Amino acid sequence: MSDTLPAMIDPFGRAVTYLRVSVTDRCDFRCTYCMAETMTFLPRKDLLALEEIDRLTSAFVWRGVRKVRLTGGEPLVRRNIMWLIKALSRHLGGGLDELTLTTNGSQLHRYADELVDCGVKRINVSLDTLDPAKFRVLTRWGDFDQVMRGIDAADRAGLKIKINAVALRGCNENEIADLLQWSHDRSFDLTLIETMPLGEIEADRTDQYLPLSLVRARLEQRFTLHDIPYQTGGPARYVHVTETNGRLGFITPLTHNFCESCNRVRISCTGTLYMCLGQEDAADLRGPLRASKSDVPLHAAIDEAIARKPKGHDFIIDRTATPAISRHMSATGG
Ligand code: SAM
Ligand code: SF4
């Protein structure tokens, strides 16, 4: 396949250069804001095979995607995941600038060195609290010490680590300054995320929602924050923290419209393409992928979908309403 296929430009002139791929909807944790404890997962036969994920992702690389992030569910619990990562790494230095993943850290102690061998340079690790007891409550099934061992292994292996923390009212809100200090002491960037209304969970979203404008104001009582133009190709806005000499990002899908510069699309573990995290509209790519050995029908389906990429999302957190988007974050990977 040549690398001269036409770029994917949406109706608003935005080039799609960033692809997030959910490799599984399964997870070894059950974070309270993400999943119900009794989540039912998709039948395995509905999932794309790893070879199909490779073919689909490669098609996007040929169409101009320069950054691929694997996510889930927990990407590192998918069986043979390193086969996929190794396969995709062949694009690095060709069409692809970056191959990365977002993980809960539980399997990093096993895979950190192999990830580095595959050309992965940076990873995001989700960690919402440094308190082992609270970590247990929040993740339901997670083992804090195992995650810490994973983070240590990733650090030792030379992976650049960004910690992602969801700001949760009444849960970690009094710990965010400590999380910032800890991350920066270890030379990790920290990004804070607002909760998004995705999927049915047991808790009430309005109880969990904590606006980052408030978090920022509180942090400014202890730290000096300066806005900086730093960009990673994602939706975070960054500040430099004078006291720690580190970087802090804010992802605020609800308090800001973060869509103007949206350059990304998502593929679910069943091969559904989501043009926007906050909209239901989607395109099935598994059908065209399986229909033919040729990628021609696949590229036609991609073109049709990109032509429908919406201008922005419709998130609203409303106590009386069902979730703005009924699918869980673990289906599309956030
Ligand atoms: N299991 C991996 C992990 O936790 O990093 C990857 C998948 S997880 C769905 C990706 C990110 O989405 C995590 O940082 C998680 O905290 C975040 N997330 C999950 N549900 C969310 C929600 N409803 N609102 C905001 N962020 C959410
Ligand atoms: Fe699993 Fe990540 Fe969702 Fe937590 S946030 S339940 S680790 S997919």
Q: Which atom of ligand 1 is nearest to the CA of 74?
A: 1
Position with higher pLDDT, 260 vs 125: 125
pLDDT value, residue 333: 58
Question: Distance, CA 293 to ligand 2 centroid (Å)?
Answer: 34
Residue nearest to atom 3 of ligand 2 (CA): 34
Average pLDDT over residues 77-105: 97
Average pLDDT over residues 86-103: 97
User: What band does 126 get if pLDDT is binned at 50, 70 and 90?
Assistant: very high
pLDDT digits (tens, 9 = 90+) for 254-294: 654 557 778 899 999 999 999 887 777 899 999 999 999 99
> Against a cut of 0.85, is the pTM above it?
yes
pLDDT value, residue 256: 46
Give the residue extent of every domain in the chain. 2-332
Q: Say whether pLDDT at 246 is over 70.
A: yes
pLDDT value, residue 89: 98
Structure token pair of residue 160: 């650049």
Which CATH number is correct for 2-332, 3.30.70.2740, 3.50.30.30, 3.40.228.10, 3.20.20.70?
A: 3.20.20.70
> Starting at the edge strand that comes first in sequence, how are the strands of the sheet with 237-241 ordered?
225-228, 237-241, 246-251, 189-193, 160-166, 122-126, 98-103, 67-71, 18-22, 264-267, 272-274, 282-284
Q: Taking CB atoms and a 6 Å cutoff, what residues make up the pocket around ligand 2?
A: 27, 29-31, 34-35, 72-74, 104, 126, 330
Q: Taking CB atoms and a 6 Å cutoff, what residues make up the pocket around ligand 1?
A: 27, 33-34, 71-72, 74, 102-104, 126, 164, 166, 193, 195-196, 198, 329-330, 333-334
Q: Which atom of ligand 2 is nearest to the CA of 30?
A: 6
Looking at the DSSP assignment, which residues form a beta bridge with residue 162? 124, 189
Average pLDDT over residues 308-324: 63
Q: Say whether pLDDT at 236 is over 90.
A: no
How far does Cα 331 stand from its chain's mean position? Answer: 11
| Separation of alpha carbons 310 and 11, rounded Å | 8
The ligand that comes nearest to the alpha carbon of residue 35 is 2
